[in-house]
Structure 1
C-alpha cells in the first residue's frame, strides 16, 4: 500500500532467491565472502560466529545478483531491506526469511501439482476451445451448403417447422446432413445456457430476430399465417415467387429484409413460398426480447432493484440470476428473476440492453463489469500459480479450518504475488458479510466460464 512498485520488486527478488539458492547459508556463500578471524577481531563488529563466517556487503550483493541473472535493479533498496540491523554486511541471520519463503513455495507447488493431477482446469479450457471450434465448423458447413442459417434451419435441421430442437433431434439432423464433426461437442457448444435444447436464436440470433419481426407482422396484420398467405396470393396461384413475396409483404408494411426472409422460407428450393412454409408461425411464440429494442433505463431500474434486495451485484448474481453457477443466465432465467423480484418494468427491453450482442445469455460482466473483471483476474492468477481456485484456498487456509479471514486473505495474496486489489476481491466474494471466506464461497470460480475465456490482468 505504501509503495506498490517496491513491493513488486521485493516479491520478485524473493522468488529469484527461491530459484537460485538452497538456503540462507548457500545464499551468503554465493553472494559474499568469508570473513577472516583477524578482520572480525580488529575491524568493526560486522557479525558474530566461528571462523567460517560469511557475509555480503552491498557492493558484493549488487555484483553477484546481477551475475546470477537479476535484472530488475533496486539493489540499493533491497539490500537495506534485508539488513535490518544496519550492519556493514548481512549474514545468514539476516536471511531467515528465505527459509519461510521456500516453505511457502513448496506448499504452493504441491498444491498446484495436486490440482493439475485432478485436471481441475486445464481440460476445461481445452474443452471450451474445442466447443467453439466445433460450432464454427458446423456453422460454416451450413452456410456453404444452404446459403443462410434460416434455410439451413427449415430445410435440414427442422423440416417440420419446430423452433426448438432437443438433443436427439440435433443428433438425427447431423446424421442426415452428413456432417463429420463431434455432435456431442456441438450440442454442448449450442446449449450455452444449459436449457437442454437448441433454439433458432442459438443458431443465429439475427435470423431469429428477423423471423420474430415477421411473426409479429403476420399476427398483428392478419391474425394467422393462412390469412396472410391468402392476402399475399392475389391470383390464387398457391405459391409466391420471390418478387411477389417481397412486393406483398412490403406493401402491407413489413420493413425488414424481405429477400433474406424469402430465401430462408423457401425450404424446398423451388424459388417459391407455399402456405405450408408459413404455418409454423401459428405455433411459434418467439421470445419477447427478439422484437424489443434495448431499454437502458429499464436495465438500470432492474440493477437498482438487485442492489436493494441483495446489497451487492455478486450476491444478486449468484442467488437470483445464476443459480446453477455457470456464470450464464438466459432470458427464461432472467424473466424468472424479474418475477421473483416483482420487477414491473420493461423486462424484454432491459434484457436487450444487457444482451447487446444477442448471444442469448448474459454473464456477470453485463451486470457488474468491475466485479467480473476482478474475479476473472483472480481465477486466472490462481490457475497459473496454484492450478485452481480450490487449490489456492487450501494454501491460504493455514489452520485447515475451512475459513480465511480478511487478514489471512490479504497476507496470502500479498505473499504469493497477486497484484490486484485484495480488499475489493475479498468483499466481493464475502456475499454474506461474515468477515470470513469459506471454500464454498470461492470454489464456484473454478467452474465459471468468463467472457473471452482467456482472462488477462
Structure 2
C-alpha cells in the first residue's frame, strides 16, 4: 500500500513527522497502533503523542507545536484520519469485516490458518499465522478490500512474520463493544419512544380520516367532518368522543383527540383536520364577504338560472364569472358545501361558513420577506437557529411546530409583521407544521442522519448515549463523543453534530441533549434521505451493512 504524501495545506514539519513514522514503523497505521493509541480508543492526547514520538527517537522538532499543527480542529486530541485518511479508512473497513467474520481471537487465528484445519499444523504453529497464510486466506474468507500484505505488516507486532493472539488484541476489544451495543439495543425492544408512539398515533389518525372520508364524505374530508362529527367549524371534545363511539372508535377516541387538539384547548377545528380544503373554503368565505357582502346575495348571484338549486357545472361557471381566485377547485369546494351529497347546493349550505373564523394563514399569501424577518429576529434573540428551534418553536421535542406554536414564538420575540404570510412561506405544502429543516436545513440533516444511524445501530439515541457514556457520568465531552462516534462507526461530521446537540454551548452533552431525538416523529422520506447519506459513511464494525455500504 502506497503511503499518501503531504497535502498542500500540510506544513513541512507535519510532512516530516509522517515521513518519520513511515520510515521508523513501516506505516503510520502501525505507529498509531503500537506507539500512540495503545488503549485502542481511537484518539490520542498530546501527552500520548509526545511520549510516543519520544519513544521512537524523534528529535527533529518541538513536539507540542507539531501536535497543534496536526490537531487542526483544536480539540486537544488527534485521530488517525488527521494523520492518514486513507490508512484510517482501510483500518476501519478491516476491523468492521473482522468483527462480522469472527467470534473470538482464537476463531480468527484458526480461520486464517490452512483452511482452518489445525491437523495440518505443527504444535508450535497452532497459535500463529504466517504472512503467506494470512494473505491467501483473507480473500477466501470474503475480504474484498485488498492490501493484505500491508495489513499483515501492521498486525505483525513482533516483526517476525507471525501473528499471535496478542497481535489481535484489538479484536477482543471490538467484540466486547459489540456485546455492549447488542445489550443496549435489546433493551430498546421492550420500550417505545414517544416519537414512535406519536408516529403510531399519526398513522391511526390518518386511517381514521380516510375511513370517515369514505363512509361519510363521498371522498371529501370536510363533508365527512360535517356529517359524522359536527356541522360547525369547531368541535368540542365531548362531542367528538361520542361521535367516535357511534362510529366504532370508542377505544381510540382519546388518542385521536390528542392528535386533533394540538393546543390543549378542548376544541378541534376543521382548519387543521383538512387544511387544503379549508384553504379553499376560507378564500370562498373571504370572496363572499368582500364581493357580495353576504351569503344571501352570493347565492342569488351564483344561482345563474334562478332555480334555487345550484349544480356543480353552474357553480363552476358562476365562480369563474365572478373571478373567484380558486375557481379551478370548484369541485372540491362544492363537495365540502354539499352536506347531503345530493349534488346540489341550496342557500342553507352556505350558512356553514357564517360563524367560521378561519385561521389567518389560510387566506394569506406566502411572504418570503416576512419569513426572513422572523428568522433573523429569532436567531438574533437566541444566537443560533437550532437553539431557537429547541427552546422556543419545538418545545415538546417532536420536530414539529404548528401554527399556534409559531404564533406564540413570534409574539414572544416581539414580531409584529406579517405572521400569517411568514407561516405560509414556511409551510408551503399546507401540511400544518414545519420542521427544523425549514429553519436550518444543515442542522436538520446532520441531526436526522445521526438519529437514523442511532436508531438502526442501537435502537434509539438514548441507547447510543448509554453506550458512548462508558463511565456512567451522564456527560460526554466533545472528545469523548467524537471518539465514540469513531469507535462505533459513525463517520458523519462529528463536530457539526456536537454543535447541533450542544445548543447551550457548554462543551458537553447530557443524556437529555441527545435523547430528545427519540421524540422526533418518524418521517419516511427524511429517514430515507438520511440512510442514503449514511451509506457514504464507513459504518459500525457491528453493523451488518458496513461492507455493502462502503462497497
TM-score (norm 1): 0.83
Name the counterpart of 2:372.
300
Instruction: Look up the SS of the partner of 1:442 in the other structure.
Output: helix
- Please point out which of 27, 32, 36 is paired with 2:108: 27
Question: What is the rounded CA distance, in whole Å, between the counterparts of 1:305 and 1:210 in structure 2?
Answer: 31
401, 421, 424: which one aligns with 2:496: 424
**Structure 1 residues 315-324 or 268-277, which shifts more?**
268-277
| Cα distance change on mapping 1:82 and 1:206 into 2, 3 Å | same
- In the other structure, the counterpart of 1:93 is 166
CA distance in 1 between counterparts of 2:263 and 2:522 reads 13
Superposition map of 1:44-63 within 5 A: 54-63=127-136
Task: Measure how far apart 1:230 and its partner are.
Answer: 5.7
Q: What is the CA deviation profile of residues 132-155 of structure 1, one whole-angstrom value per residue up to 9, with x for unaligned ones? A: 762574266258x52433433333
CA positional deviation for 1:209: 1.0
The correspondence of residues 154-233 of structure 1 with structure 2, limited to 5 A, is: 154-159=226-231, 162-174=232-244, 198-226=268-296, 228-229=298-299
Selected match of 2:359 from 264, 287, 302: 287
Match of residue 37 from structure 1: none
Find out whether 1:80 has 2:148 as its counterpart: no
SS of the residue 2:163 aligns to: coil
Structure 2 runs not aligned, ≥5 long = 1-80, 117-122, 535-551
Q: Distance in 1 between matches of 2:413 and 2:199?
A: 38
2:476 to 397, 404, 415: 404
Q: Does 1:376 align with 2:448?
A: yes
CA 1:68–1:201 in 2, change beyond 3 Å: closer, same or farther? same
Compute the displacement of 1:253 (Å): 4.2
Deviations 1:339-387 (A, max 9, x none): 1111233211111111111101111122122211211111111122212
CA contact (8 A) 1:238 1:274 kept: yes
Q: Tell me, in whole angstroms, the C-alpha distance in 2 between the residues paired with 1:283 and 1:79.
A: 80
Change in CA separation of 1:364 and 1:123 when aligned onto 2, cut-off 3 Å: closer
Change (3 A) 1:128 1:248: closer
Cα shift at 1:399: 1.7
2:180 aligned with 1:107, yes or no?
A: yes
In the alignment, the residues of structure 1 paired with residue 335 and residue 113 of structure 2 have an alpha-carbon distance, to the nearest angstrom, of: 81
Cα distance in 2 for residues equivalent to 1:79 and 1:12? 15
The alpha-carbon deviation at position 242 of structure 1 amounts to 5.0
For the Cα contact (< 8 Å) 1:226–1:279, is it kept in 2? no
1:148 touches 1:264 (CA, 8 Å); kept in 2? Answer: yes
State the shift of 1:240 in Å.
Answer: 4.7
Is the contact made by 1:295 and 1:352 (CA closer than 8 Å) also made in structure 2? Answer: yes
Alignment of 1:243-392 (within 5 A): 245-246=315-316, 248-257=318-327, 258-392=330-464
* SS across alignment from 1:113: helix
Q: Which stretch has the larger CA shift, 263-272 or 292-301?
A: 263-272
Deviation at 1:269, TM superposition (A): 3.6
**Aligned partner of residue 423 in structure 2, secondary structure:** helix
Measured in 2, the distance between the counterparts of 1:365 and 1:81 equals 44
Distance 1:442 1:182 in 2: 31
Give the secondary-structure state (helix, strand or coil) at the position aligned to 1:283.
Answer: coil
Contact 1:134/1:189 (8 A) holds in 2: no
Does structure 1 retain, via aligned residues, the 8 Å contact 2:198–2:521?
Answer: no
Deviates more, 1:396-405 or 1:252-261: 252-261
The separation in 2 between residues aligned to 1:32 and 1:243, in whole angstroms, is 83
Q: Which position in structure 1 is the counterpart of 2:515?
A: 443
Report the secondary structure of 2:509's partner residue: strand
Tell me whether 109-118 or 372-381 shows the greater mean CA deviation. 109-118
Partners of 2:500 and 2:359 lie apart in 1 by 33
Report deviation, 1:85: 5.4
Contact persistence 1:193–1:361 (CA under 8 A): no
Using the alignment, how far apart are the partners of 2:106 and 2:255 within structure 1? Answer: 55
- Alpha carbons of structure 1 residues 171 and 57: separation in structure 2 relative to 1, 3 Å: same
Match of 2:466 among 391, 394, 402: 394
- Name the CA shift for 1:218/1:75 in 2 (closer, same or farther; >3 Å): same
CA distance in 2 between counterparts of 1:98 and 1:241 reads 77
- 1: CA distance between counterparts of 2:219 and 2:456? 43
Q: Which residue of 2 aligns with 1:44?
A: none
Q: TM-score, normalised by structure 2?
A: 0.70
Over the aligned positions, Cα root-mean-square deviation in angstroms equals: 3.5
